[in-house]
Amino acid sequence: MAASDWDRSRAASPESARSPRHAAFVRITHWVAALSFCALLLSGVEILISHPRFYWGEAGNVATPALFQIPIPSSRAIIPTGYGFVLPDQNGWSRALHFQSAWAVVIAGLFYVGFGLWTRHFRRNLLPSRQDLAWGALSATLADHLRFKRPGEAEAWSYNTLQRITYLKVIFVLFPIMIWTGLAMSPGFVSAFPATVTVLGGQQSARTIHFFATLALVLFTLVHILMVSLAGFGPRVAAMITGKAAGAKEEA
């Protein structure tokens, strides 16, 4: 895959064997966010089961037309799903876990963004250069991804352009949308900041946007795991735990 001159020189540099592939704050916040996202997804599915219908606007219930409906059974008998049975209601623990996991993501995200700006992590490691964004380089990287081409050794020490753009969108677009729409569904938060939900068109609109943002994050996670597996699952995961890139050798 295409890599910038700085990336190639870093991969070939002796200092790269001594410096960590991922800074400690990146590794810590990555795993906190990953575990919290799994908890959010699990609890979110349980919450969805209680009312698998989506609406647009401020209000929505079984007496109003749905924008769309997920074809799954519900944990509430009053929801018209077409199934002749009702699932066990797990709303209690799922909402508590969802709330707690959401705050874990928010705290980890603020910590990550704060330290990332302070250490210039985003500028050094994630912000693409003009050369990287040139159509030739970008199309070559995309073609390699579509062919599931195994990454070169230089990319053990750097992110390619497509990765950088994707990570920046996840960090600064998708996660903020998730947090914003989540807060917009909180009656306590909305009572203090009503504009939060008004801008989105209502609480049911916020819930619908929240659902689609979740699907985007799930898709990103699946592709991310696939690409990590292609590049070498064990070494890449080890690098995110220990900070040491695959193939880095200790000095004698």
* Residue with the two structure tokens 């699990």: 42
Rounded to an integer, what distance in angstroms lies between the CA atom of residue 37 and that of residue 39?
Answer: 5
Residue whose token pair is 């062919």 = 147
- CATH topology (fold) of 17-242: Fumarate Reductase Cytochrome B subunit (1.20.950)
Q: Which long-range contacts (CB under 8 A, 24 or more apart) does 52-57 make?
A: 52/79, 52/81, 53/79, 54/204, 54/207, 54/208, 54/211, 55/204, 55/205, 55/207, 55/208, 56/201, 56/202, 56/204, 56/205, 56/208, 57/201, 57/202, 57/204, 57/205
Note the pLDDT of residue 205.
Answer: 97
Q: Looking at residue 30, what is its pLDDT?
A: 95
Question: Looking at residue 154, what DSSP letter applies?
Answer: G
**What pLDDT, on a 0 to 100 scale, did the predictor assign at position 247?**
52
Is 166 within 8 Å of 220 (Cβ atoms)? yes
The strand pairing partners of 68, in sequence order, are 54
Q: Are 105 and 213 in contact (CB under 8 A)?
A: no
User: What does each C-alpha distance from 60 to 64, 87, 147, 206, 208 come to in angstroms?
Assistant: 6, 22, 44, 12, 11
Cα separation of 126 and 123, whole Å?
Answer: 6
Taking the CA atoms of residue 105, residue 129, residue 19 and residue 121 in that order, the dihedral angle to the nearest 10 degrees is -30
Furthest-apart CA atoms within the chain: distance in Å: 73
Q: Are 40 and 105 in contact (CB under 8 A)?
A: yes
Q: Is 69 helix (H, G, I), strand (E, B) or coil?
A: strand
pLDDT of residue 140: 61
Do residues 26 and 239 make contact, with C-beta atoms less than 8 angstroms apart? no
CA distance 82 to 18: 61
pTM over 0.85: no
Query: What is the pLDDT at residue 162?
Result: 82
42 phi and psi angles, rounded to 5 deg:
-60, -50
> What local confidence, expressed as pLDDT, does residue 149 receive?
59
Buried residues in 116-137 as b, exposed as e (16+ CB within 10 A) = beeeebbeebbebeeebeeeeb
Q: Where are the domains of the chain?
A: 17-242
Per-residue tens of pLDDT for the chain, all 252 residues: 344 443 434 444 434 445 677 889 999 999 999 999 999 999 999 999 999 999 999 999 999 999 999 999 999 999 999 898 999 999 899 999 999 999 999 999 999 999 999 999 998 888 887 776 666 656 666 666 555 556 655 555 567 788 888 999 999 999 999 999 999 999 889 999 999 999 999 999 999 999 999 999 999 999 899 888 887 888 888 889 888 765 544 332
